[in-house]
Structures are given as structure tokens and as C-alpha cells.
Amino acid sequence: MKNEEALKRLKIIEGHMRGVTRMVEEDAYCIDIIRQIQAVQAALNKVSTAILENHLNSCVTTAIRGEDPAERERVLKEITDVFETATKV
């Protein structure tokens, strides 16, 4: 996913999130709010996955093909750290 596409999707998500905030302010039905929050989370996950895929196909691939073993280790550790953080949430 190119940066322009990611930004476009993030702006849409931002608008969706403002709608969720309005729902809370207007005391909307709790289950409806939760469903909208889940939709925002799913949209964020989709953008995150696309950005990760781009990173794997560019930065990580370059590092793995490169000559610097420390750089290979660094990028692989970054990926591991991202997944560890995601599972703690």
C-alpha cells in the first residue's frame, strides 16, 4: 500500500471515529457503539496489515539480501517486537 492510499484510508477511519465519539456523546445504544468501534478496529488492522506487507516487501527484503548480518537481525527483531506487542493488547 502506498502512503497516499494509507493516508486516504486513515482519514476515512478518522471520520468514522468522530462518528463513534458523537454516538457516545449522544448516548447511543451501547451495542451499536461497540459494533462501530469493532469496525474501526478492523479498518485499522487492514491498514496496518497493508503497511506491514509493504515493509516486508521493501525494507525487510533489502536487509535480508544485504551483506550486514546486524541489519538482518535488527529488521527481524522489529517484526518480532511488533507481533509481541500486538499479542499483549
**Which one is predicted more confidently, 3 or 26?**
26
Average pLDDT of span 22-51: 97
Tell me the pLDDT tens digit for each residue of 46-72: 999 999 999 999 999 999 899 999 999
Q: Report pLDDT for 83.
A: 87
68/89: higher pLDDT: 68
Predicted pLDDT of residue 71: 92
Q: Which residues contact 76 (CB under 8 A, 6 or more apart)?
A: 60
Residue-wise DSSP of 30-79: HHHHHHHHHHHHHHHHHHHHHHHHHHIIIIIHHHHHSS-HHHHHHHHHHH
Domain architecture of the chain: domains with CATH: 3-88 (1.20.58.1000)
Sign of the torsion angle spanned by Cα atoms 88, 51, 53, 79 = negative
Helix (H, G, I), strand (E, B) or coil at 29: coil
